[in-house]
Structure 1
Amino acid sequence: MAARWLKVLAAAPLMLSALSAAPAQALVPYVAIPQERSLEGAGLGIAQAAARLLRLGQAEDAARLAALTVQLIPSDPRGWVLLAEAQLRSNQDKEAAVSLAKARELDPKNAGILFAQGSLALKDSRPSEAAELIRQGLKLDGNNAGAYFDLGNAFILMGKPGDALGAFERASKLRGDFWEAINNQALVLYAQNKDAEAIKRWRRVLEIKPAAEPNLALAAALNTKTPGNTESLELAAKALAEEPNYVLDSWQKEQLWGPRLRSAAARLLSEPALKADVDRAQANAGGNDDLGDE
């Protein structure tokens, strides 16, 4: 287009002289205003790029692109959900809350948005609000295992162990390999002095996923029954090597371990045979803490 006009002007010197003789006026450049369909297409293209960045773990870059998406297509709730997810993954919780609120305003019947708001409330230590949001979402989508897991965690923080156990059991029924839900069932059962059932479920977890948390929790429970037994020592050493933070009482508490299990873990970790493992874990853990601190 620009080259074409240059040719026209070059071929018309009389026109140029006439323009120079005319009164001075502001020249208004021609601006192409994109059509709504073009904006939507551009916004969706940017959203796809943002989603790719999110999958690659580049959350901050994804958030910047997703912000462009909602500017181009502000009435599409999918863009706001994408922006919220990118913000959550880049630790922009306040901004994510705003984005989720906008998404919910545009799509109030979207269970996923309610679940996300519930998870954010849970992360922000508002378990009652979290539980209410999740329950609203479950009315729309009653087969979401992750939502039941979050609901169970909210119930633990609200001091409702029976409701928590029910939620965790529902989560594991919906997804048989949901080891975190089975692990948290054991946490509740152990806090209720139902040691045999808790131990049974931790063993079931380890058949699915030999993770640090069930290893150390099972070790602590077994050590209470038979102090210094070989299995407990081996499980504890394995757990601390995989995740040193479990040496910290504060970390255990953050994972919703009750006072009874934390005390059992403190007794286990004071075993002389574990001294080298405990010292190494404390050196590598993310903070300092006293064992057995309740």
Structure 2
Amino acid sequence: MASRWLRAFPLVALGLSLSQTLPANALVPYVYVPPSEELQGAGLGIAQAAARLLRLGQPDDAARLAALTVQLLPADPRGWMLLAEAQLRSSQLKAAAESLARAKELDPRNAGIWFAEGSLALRDGRPEQAVGLLQEGLRLDSRNASAHFDLGNAHILLSQPSLALKAFERASDLRRDFWEAINNQALVLYEQGKTNEAIARWRRVLKIQPDAAEPNLALAASLFDRGGEARAEALERASRALDTEPNYVLDSYQKEQLWGPKLRTTTQELLQQAELKTYVDRALANASPDGDTGL
């Protein structure tokens, strides 16, 4: 499942010998050397601009500015963390790993660095390594809800549902409106055959985020699985979810969101219902073209 810092140009050697005798009317070469306070101020100003670009969704430009920050303030771990975040958001995973490693050298007890490395490992398909990094960070800061959430996702990828559920519950205990964590609790419970508990969690999510596509479609599938009077609600929620986020029509996208095989199979059966054909066709037309429909 996110600090505050004009560039100083390199000084040019003028090639003048100190023993040279200058004419009386010659101009004495003068190069302004900014004091460290000015360099620090410039670095912080650039970092602030980079952070603004990140907030505006311009990670590539933010990464370029953050790179200037670490040139001016190479011993400040905040600059390296800012650079790493910008690189992560612009999919420069290798560069982000290098920036985080530099930040950790400077500030090894900064839990945020461990969390960022864990998230990077998770994104890079290394869940086992992610678990170790996140747990180390949580030893330094045990109340970070997002880190517990990432830890739960890593445990899902490692087929450790009980540990995943515990991590997701800790995340939602720390942040009561953390609907993504509650949603993922339901994902685990459904795969464990605890359908009623899963349904209760998805309904709780939808009280926080009524229009979210994922819990609407997942709840629809679980209600469809029940049959009977729940079928009408299942069809209505499924149609709404597909219009909100067409990619959920794709089995590959569901899997990317950590849906287990039982939920994906039930959802496939739901989406084959005649009443949903118009919505499914429209979603397939609007979904990512490189996704696998699974239908």
State the TM-score, normalizing by the size of structure 1.
Answer: 0.88
Q: Are 2:91 and 1:63 aligned?
A: no
Q: Are 2:225 and 1:224 aligned?
A: yes
Render the CA deviation track for 1:50-101: whole Å, top value 9, x for unaligned: 1122222222111111111100110000111111111112221211111111
Q: Which entry has the higher C-alpha Rg, 1 or 2? A: 1
Render the CA deviation track for 1:130-168: whole Å, top value 9, x for unaligned: 010000000010000000000000000011000000000
Report the number of matched residues. Answer: 270
Q: Tell me the distance in 1 between the aligned counterparts of 2:191 and 2:222.
A: 11
What is the letter of the counterpart of residue 217 of structure 2?
Answer: L
Q: Are 2:91 and 1:91 aligned?
A: yes
Of 264, 275, 287, the match for 1:262: 264
- Which deviates more, 83-92 or 226-235? 226-235
Q: Tell me the distance in 1 between the aligned counterparts of 2:139 and 2:186.
A: 27
Deviation at 1:28, TM superposition (A): 8.6
Give the aligned partner of residue 212 of structure 1: 213
Q: Tell me the distance in 1 between the aligned counterparts of 2:129 and 2:277.
A: 42
Q: Are 2:125 and 1:142 aligned?
A: no
Gaps of 5+ in 2: 1-22
Q: Are 2:104 and 1:104 aligned?
A: yes
Aligned residues of 2:284 and 2:293 also touching (Cα < 8 A): no
Deviation at 1:15, TM superposition (A): 4.7
SS of corresponding position for 2:241: helix
Give the aligned partner of residue 52 of structure 1: 52
Give the aligned partner of residue 121 of structure 2: 121
What is the letter of the counterpart of residue 289 of structure 1?
Answer: D
Q: Tell me the distance in 1 between the aligned counterparts of 2:139 and 2:82.
A: 23
SS of corresponding position for 2:294: coil
Q: Tell me the distance in 2 between the aligned counterparts of 1:232 and 1:164.
A: 27
Give the aligned partner of residue 241 of structure 1: 243
Give the aligned partner of residue 167 of structure 1: 167
Aligned residues of 2:189 and 2:197 also touching (Cα < 8 A): yes
Gaps of 5+ in 1: 1-13, 20-26
Render the CA deviation track for 1:221-262: whole Å, top value 9, x for unaligned: 110110681100000000000000000000000000000000
Select the structure that is richer in helix. Answer: 1
Q: Tell me the distance in 2 between the aligned counterparts of 1:290 and 1:171.
A: 32
Q: Relative contact order (C-alpha < 8 Å, sep 6+): which is higher? A: 2
Q: Tell me the distance in 1 between the aligned counterparts of 2:95 and 2:168.
A: 30
Give the aligned partner of residue 34 of structure 2: 34
State the TM-score, normalizing by the size of structure 2.
Answer: 0.88
What is the letter of the counterpart of residue 72 of structure 1?
Answer: L
Give the aligned partner of residue 187 of structure 2: 187
Q: Tell me the distance in 2 between the aligned counterparts of 1:15 and 1:107.
A: 53
Deviation at 1:30, TM superposition (A): 2.7
Q: Which runs of 4+ in 1 moved over 4 A?
A: none
Give the CA RMSD over aligned residues: 1.6
SS of corresponding position for 1:229: helix
Q: Are 2:43 and 1:43 aligned?
A: yes
